[in-house]
Amino acid sequence: MRPTRLAACCSVVALILGCQEPTQPSGEPAMASATAATVTITDLGTLPGGTYSGAIGINANGDIVGIAGTASGQEHAVLWHNGKIRDLGTIGGPLSQAYAINDAGRVVGLTTNRSGRDQGFFWENGTMTGLGVTLGASSSVAVGVNRTGVIVLTNGSRIATWSNHKWRVLPLPTGSTACSAVAIDAQERAVGHCSMRNGQNRSFIYDHRLPVDLGSVGNGTITATAVSPDGVVVGEFSTENGARPFLWKNGMISELTKQGADPTFSPTSINSLGEIAGRILGGNSNTIAVLFRGGTTINLGTLAGGTSAAYGLNNKGQVVGSSRTATGHDRAVLWTVR
């Protein structure tokens, strides 16, 4: 899930924690069989009295962050640790959402303050800290954090980083009008996409805080969605037949469909092993969470509602996202792939 305010999910009538069931591949696209990968799906539940949840990020320790509805109907950032859910609260407003967590347990995301203004936050050791905005920006949102704790944000219409109480607003690429941050790698290289004056959407990686265009494929509109710790970028490019997945590595951009990916694959995250999580289109216009590795698409399956999407993964075969229940309610889930 990319850092925009998530649509409110549907209701559930019971809290389900730790319920596990094996999944079988479903949907029309050709995928790995059950013998190639064993997948277990775990419903992570939601807050007491809440009606929905969604998981967005996971670290190497298996700690998971995302969103969940509260008993009062608000949407709060949450952390799942050792199978238990924790409400991370807000800084005074009604809303918060968590998007990423590093291995040290620093969580970042979006919250509202008492006046209702959006701003990025980080949470660690039980305390949420609002990051505010820089001069000239009306809002901010923290979308990623690397292993050393450097945070990347969309700050107004610019990409910025925050570390040790210091902001760095990165320059707009030539020809762009506004940029949004996507993620940050271990070397503090921020990745984002920008609106260009020619109407295209272009994507960039900031090397030594200077923007490097990822290149062109399709009709020239490129939208990055994630970066691995070692700087491999994935996303989608536009064609006359719809969006297609791409991978950028060492200055070269390539179409993932030529490496075996489904044409409808939407990448959302990539780990240091080169495994990519995301979703594809299944039957009845549903989306299905998948893991793409070694040229093979592994169907992660769904809860009984028949639709799912993956948003985060680590190097241990753990993928997180959301899936719909039989009663039509969206729930945070963990897939374990072996």
3-state SS class at 176:
strand
What confidence score (pLDDT) does residue 11 get? 23
What confidence score (pLDDT) does residue 27 get? 40
What confidence score (pLDDT) does residue 284 get? 78
What confidence score (pLDDT) does residue 220 get? 85
Decide if pLDDT at 12 tops 80.
Answer: no
Provide the mean pLDDT of the chain: 90
Percent of the chain with pLDDT over 70: 90
What confidence score (pLDDT) does residue 191 get? 98
What confidence score (pLDDT) does residue 300 get? 98
Residue 7: pLDDT band (50, 70, 90) is: very low
Decide if pLDDT at 21 tops 50.
Answer: no
What confidence score (pLDDT) does residue 36 get? 72
What confidence score (pLDDT) does residue 31 get? 61
Decide if pLDDT at 59 tops 80.
Answer: yes
Rounded Cα distance between 66 and 141, Å, is 14
The domain locations on the chain are 40-169
Mean pLDDT computed over 46-73:
97
What confidence score (pLDDT) does residue 4 get? 38
Closest CA to 238 of 259, 223, 252: 223
- Cβ burial of 273 (10 Å; 0-12, 13-18, 19+) is middle
- Residues in CB range of 224: below 8 A, 6 or more apart: 182, 191, 192, 193, 203, 204, 205, 214, 233, 234, 235, 248
Rounded Cα distance between 162 and 113, Å, is 19
Decide if pLDDT at 15 tops 50.
Answer: no
Decide if pLDDT at 22 tops 80.
Answer: no
Instruction: Give the predicted TM-score (pTM) of the model.
Output: 0.90
What confidence score (pLDDT) does residue 18 get? 30
288 sits in which H/E element:
strand 287-293
